[in-house]
A and B are shown apart, each in its own frame.
Chain A
Amino acid sequence: MTAEDSRTALASTFGVEVISAPVMSVTVSPDRWEELGRFAKETLGCRFFSFLTAVDWKEQGLEVVAKVDNLEDNVALLLKTRLGPGVTTCSSLTPVYRGANWMERECFDMFGIRFENHPDPRRILLEDTWQGHPLLKSYAVDTPYPPYR
């Protein structure tokens, strides 16, 4: 599906505003996150899963961002959802995109977001016994952690 058609389809199905620049992005509420992923893959044809990450907006809570591409029609799409203050759970996109597996493990590792229905919820980059989630803004960059720091 072309970029224009994708935009109209997203706006009509999810009833949200679709931002065009710099990358076409759409923000939905967390309860429609997996539905959005499925819609992007099956209806819009965005079968290439680029990445999934999170942003810590401090008091406003965490935001999960995923990028998917439609390589045939050259459409890039950013999917976003704001989890809300204090919320650390989100539904997993792993049933839709297999590439989300490692990306969501990294989000858990770095931000503490627990993804429901994730087949393998454990840390990926840090060791399994690490305490804390470093990419949160509340985690100072020079937090002591013997024996590494």
Chain B
Amino acid sequence: MLDESTVSRVEVDWAGPERLTMNMGPQHPSAHGVFRAIVTLEGETVVAVDAVIGYLHRCHEKLSETLTYAQYPSIASKTDYVAAMTSEFAYVLAAEEIGKIEVPKRAQYLRVICAELQRIASHLLWLGTWCMDMGGALGGGATIFLYCIRERELILDLFEALVGARLLYGFFQVGGTRYDIPDGWAQTCRETIEVIDSRIDEYPQMLEQNAFFLARARGVGIVSRELAQDVGVAGPLLRGSGVNWDLRRDAPYSSYQDFDFRIPVETDGDCYARYRVRIAEFRQAIAIVRQALDKLPAGPISSRPALKSVAQIRIPKGEAYARVEGPRGEVGTYMISDGSAKPYRMKWRGASFSNLAILPHIIPGHKVADVVAIMGSVDPVFGEVDR
């Protein structure tokens, strides 16, 4: 017989809220990079999210004070490594703005072509990985991932022919671009975007009638207009919440005003709205590339002589904030120069850093499964978050 006096009793309250703190990341297949989210759960519902970042911090801002204007653009691409062209773009634009350096028209158009091709490639990767996060690698998610990567490979082949690298270029330099397009590249580019244009129709067909996709994306992760602006998110995150703002139209740079394109805006603010914005941006980017290729002027590709020494470019004293509309939003460089060959201070306004800051505000209230869907639709790239 059990001696009742020695048996300890534990009272378990099965009805009350019990909070569980769970760690997600930094190694996690759906974390989109090195990201640690410490989520506090009550059952399946997330009550709080503590986003821990900094696992990819490589001191870009300190490095920029030690590298010259000729050296840094090659590593500027490593901040947003998925959209490397737009990362370099912001840096050289700031240096050119302070130094009042003119960029020849041909270089401006080449920059636009590369930035828009990069936007298509980046959104393809986003769509593939987001759907794979939600569908599972062995479930249906890998299907659309493979299709998107197949298209992305075509664009990366174009970049490889142009620059020599697939992911991290060194295409931009202060004063223009470093390379000119080789013979036949324009024709190949036209054919590539024709192929991509015809295949983009497949993605909405696959996704928008899929009940599981709609259940995981509709009504999930709603960002209100007011919250989006207060936190400072930009890009499809902002336009998915109803704010009609795109730097290419509202603060045009590098001859974007020469092109005719529309800015898609959705008002729902959920993951599905952001998905609709990015799908529409595919088409607009293709339209811009076509127009730029048609109107590409002849001329020099840089207004500065070819780089022969690292300290060749000196920018006079001044400051500027230059921003570009990257695939994730406003990528900006606040640069203060002191007349030497290196900047005095350079702040990277990373689009993903501000976009990620929205997670602690919108995730609480959702289920654990939605954390992955929301994080995917925010589309962070941790090179930009941590710099």
Selected interface stretch from A1-9, A43-51, A81-89? A43-51
Per the bound structure, the CA–CA distance linking A99 and B231 in Å amounts to: 4
Q: Are B57 and A51 in contact (CB under 8 A)?
A: no
Report if A99-B61 is in contact (Cβ < 8 Å); known contacts: A47-B229, A47-B230, A74-B251: no
* B88 interface residue per 8 A CB criterion: no
Set of chain B residues within 8 Å of A22, measured between Cβ atoms:
97-98, 318-321
Set of chain B residues within 8 Å of A102, measured between Cβ atoms:
353-354, 357
Q: Are B57 and A125 in contact (CB under 8 A)?
A: yes
* A91 interface residue per 8 A CB criterion: no
Report if A47-B357 is in contact (Cβ < 8 Å); known contacts: A141-B63, A141-B66: no
Set of chain A residues within 8 Å of B227, measured between Cβ atoms:
98
Shortest beta-carbon distance from B11 to chain A in Å: 35
Q: Are B230 and A97 in contact (CB under 8 A)?
A: yes
Report if A125-B232 is in contact (Cβ < 8 Å); known contacts: A47-B226, A110-B61: no
Q: Are B54 and A98 in contact (CB under 8 A)?
A: no
| B contact residues, range | 35 or more
The 0/1 profile, CB within 8 Å of A marked 1, for residues 138-175 of chain B is 00000000000000000000000000000000000000
Q: Are B345 and A127 in contact (CB under 8 A)?
A: no
Set of chain A residues within 8 Å of B259, measured between Cβ atoms:
none
Report if A51-B62 is in contact (Cβ < 8 Å); known contacts: A22-B321, A98-B231, A99-B232: no
Report if A71-B229 is in contact (Cβ < 8 Å); known contacts: A50-B349, A98-B361, A126-B54: yes
Shortest beta-carbon distance from A125 to chain B in Å: 4
* B101 interface residue per 8 A CB criterion: no
Closest residue of chain A to B231, judged by CB? A99
Q: Are B54 and A124 in contact (CB under 8 A)?
A: yes
Report if A55-B226 is in contact (Cβ < 8 Å); known contacts: A98-B231, A99-B354: no
Set of chain A residues within 8 Å of B349, measured between Cβ atoms:
50-51, 67
Q: Are B230 and A51 in contact (CB under 8 A)?
A: no
Report if A74-B250 is in contact (Cβ < 8 Å); known contacts: A67-B321, A124-B53: yes
Q: Which of B224-239 contact A (CB under 8 A)?
A: 226-227, 229-232
Q: Are B386 and A125 in contact (CB under 8 A)?
A: yes
Name, among B63, B231, B250, B336, the residue most crowded by chain A CB atoms within 10 Å (CB to CB). Answer: B231
Set of chain B residues within 8 Å of A47, measured between Cβ atoms:
226, 229-230
Q: Are B62 and A134 in contact (CB under 8 A)?
A: yes
Closest residue of chain B to A25, judged by CB? B319
Report if A49-B66 is in contact (Cβ < 8 Å); known contacts: A71-B245, A101-B357: no
Shortest beta-carbon distance from B152 to chain A in Å: 30
* B213 interface residue per 8 A CB criterion: no
Instruction: State the A residues within 8 Å of B (CB).
Output: 22-23, 47-51, 53, 55-56, 65, 67, 71, 74, 76, 78, 97-99, 101-102, 110, 123-127, 134-135, 141
